[in-house]
Structure 1
Amino acid sequence: MLIIKKLPIILLFTLCAGVSLASGAQESRTSTEDAEKDWGVYTQLTYVNQWHNSFRAPYAADNSMDSASRNNQTADITLMIGRRIGRQGELWLNPEIDQGFGLSNTLGMAGFPSGEAYKVGQNRPYPRLPRAFFRQTVNLSGENEQVEAAVNQLSSTRTANNLIFTAGHFSVTDIFDNNTYAHDPRSDFLNWSIIDAGSFDYAADAWGFTNGMTIEWNQGSWTWRGGLFQMSEVPNAKVTGLHLNHRSMVSEIEKRYELNGHPGKFKLLAFVNRAMMGSYQDAVLLGQQTGAVPDTALVRKMDTNKGIALNVEQELSADAGVFLRISSNSGQKEAYEFTDMSKSISGGVVVQGNRWGRSDDKMGIGFAHNMLSSDAKAYFTAGGMGILIGDGKMNYGAESVLEWFYSFQLNKNWKLSLDYQHAANPAYNRDRGPITFYGLRLHAEM
């Protein structure tokens, strides 16, 4: 049933990963000699194959998901190179090669089923530089703590209370809206509205990255984060140049705690986007006056969109934890960068496999319930198009997603995951679907 059309690129990735593995092995042999290395070099590769069944669809438009059975693949390989600058500074570059497309060219659902699929794609491998950033830590007070080396992080010693500054080209969600159990489409859930707060319309180009600067203040069991980011000049487009004419401001407060001896986190995030954006209501009104399909591009002006997101994670035992996200934005303006969503609630549970004798395996089950505002409903019902959705008309119903994944740890570096998703009312349309998605993911880190 699974058709792998791009096997040669995966073989190429494997060869590249093998070279990196040899380099990583040499570094691990010397890690005990120097706890704080001046260089960090890592490689990751991820291949995702997704397909869906044919489903009921009495009508369709430009942004509809293809109702015939479809199969698509995405693949990427990334080299993460870090260099220590001074005592507490780090410079990281992440050159990457991508290939492939999301299902239906990443259209047809607000909670799209693959976080490894971008809004653009190519049949042939193409290079990118998704991350190029500098991070500086400033010690304040408290006991010294050891920071372990990891991807995009050099080992270091810092005080418990500190400031961390980051600037450059990276993803807003590298810093904000993190969650231990649902945030990484390369190793846990895949659905957009489960790995991120669905209504958090964060600044990003079509691949999910942008220019920005952030500050994090860690003090005891609290952390405050603030960020200023560049938005694209046109919704869902490339971020070009270096300016803040179109900008996003993000603030997040985090509280760490223990419940019955098990750690948990509570985060509250707020964002304000300022850019040339269209009002759903203005677009519908203009469409009625001209007898045309509403189009937010025709009514854009410098305006503001605001939103909030609640993010909770709680360990239940040493090998299990739960998560919950609730997010909302004004719902009056067009979605600008992420996806067409006014409100969303998602959550789930993740369990490690030691309960059944496979300690390095992982299994998760999650859900998302995504909604539109009344203004957005009127716009899409009248035939309007958004970032990811637009069926020409709409019989509104909340978009609901159920996802299950199981990740097999094949060896120290390689993981193979199975993924299942069931979506009701795709693109908020009761007249289409439901859709069942099946996924296979191969991932390696070295």
Structure 2
Amino acid sequence: MAFGADDGWRNKRTQPTLPEVYRSLQIPKKGSWFKKFLAFAGPGYMVAVGYMDPGNWATDIAGGSMFGYTLLSVILLSNLMAILLQALAGKLGIVTGRDLAQACRDHYSKPVAMGLWVLCELAIAACDLAEVIGSAIALQLLFGIPLIYGVIITALDVLIVLLLQNKGFRYIETLVIILIVTIGGCFATEIFLSKPDVGGILKGFVPSKEIVINPTMLYIAIGILGATVMPHNLYLHSSVVQTRQIEQTSSGKRQAIKYATWDSTIALFFALFINAAILIISAATFHKAGMTQVAEIGEAYDLLTPLLGTTIGSILFGVALLASGQNSTLTGTLAGQIVMEGFLNFRLAPWLRRLITRMIAIIPAVIVTAISGESGTTQLLILSQVILSLQLSFAVIPLIQFTNDKRKMGEFANPLWLKVLAWIVATVIVGLNAYLLFQTFFG
């Protein structure tokens, strides 16, 4: 379909976001299904990064230390919701040739689109804030670097992103996968060292009515749900799936949707493992030892060595945290570019866009760290998750609306069962995030 020839949109389609990598990766026309799948693999892992960023760690640690393995079912439910929403985001990008930001600009009036852009920029700044703080805490824990210097050092990662972007998109995807494997390896070792109760883990994945009855447990559960689905990932996924050079035919798009959905689903199961691993380690060490109030990342790091009987536990925890912060930075950079280019149809040099996003995150982090120290950064981390919760509805609802629309999606519009399921997920997310925000401010 040619640019500008679409139906069902207020505005005509313009150039894609990230034009330097748009359709830059070829898909083999012949060969096995596995060879084709490998060509599509990559974007899903970039999306999965947002589901294991430092902002998720505090809720997982608190859930495990307070309630043992009980809240594993909530992590599983959150992940299943994320799998559905990311599949819809990938489908939107493949079918319409628009990412979610462009779709919002081309569908809504200019004031509405501008309002959504401002909210999205706030969410990306909040996400970047969590990454800055997470990386700074990791540097402090591993190398004794004061938090304020750690925050400033994180500004240098802009150079890594720019270097990789210039080399090609596969380099970014490869680094992201290496860092995910590093995080997974660290936590697999930690689980082995912590000797968790396998029966308790299996029972924890079965939903319990206690979660709804116990107000404190419900609050932590909603925090886990609120911190899991990241709004910027929906914008990111709908754009990066367009890096593949697919055939612009019905069968070509159908194949791309299938493999892109496999890619994001498999990658999100890695995120499920890592989030579950954090909670399992917290349950097997802190909860088992009667330490039910451990909620801060630094506190968890300090306690792992005496409880596991080896310093390797704390070191692996710190390495995983640093890898998580750096990984989230890479994908946050791209999401920032996609959102600005998509909503405004305005392109900044990637280094300048990255610098602006990072400065928005670093300035409040430096000020709060200088005034309040570690306790202040913990509160800032919580605030970043609240801002992300506020933005989430404004990304999820348009995504479902667009993928349900037959005029926009043609034969690829969501079938009735998927429409119903998607709106149920949206209602749960909106309702729980509203409750979380109410409790945060008034509870």
- Taking structure 2 as the reference length, the TM-score comes to 0.25
The structure richer in strand per residue is 1
- Taking structure 1 as the reference length, the TM-score comes to 0.25
Q: Comparing both chains, which one has the higher relative contact order based on Cα–Cα distances under 8 Å and sequence gaps of 6 or more? A: 2
The structure richer in helix per residue is 2
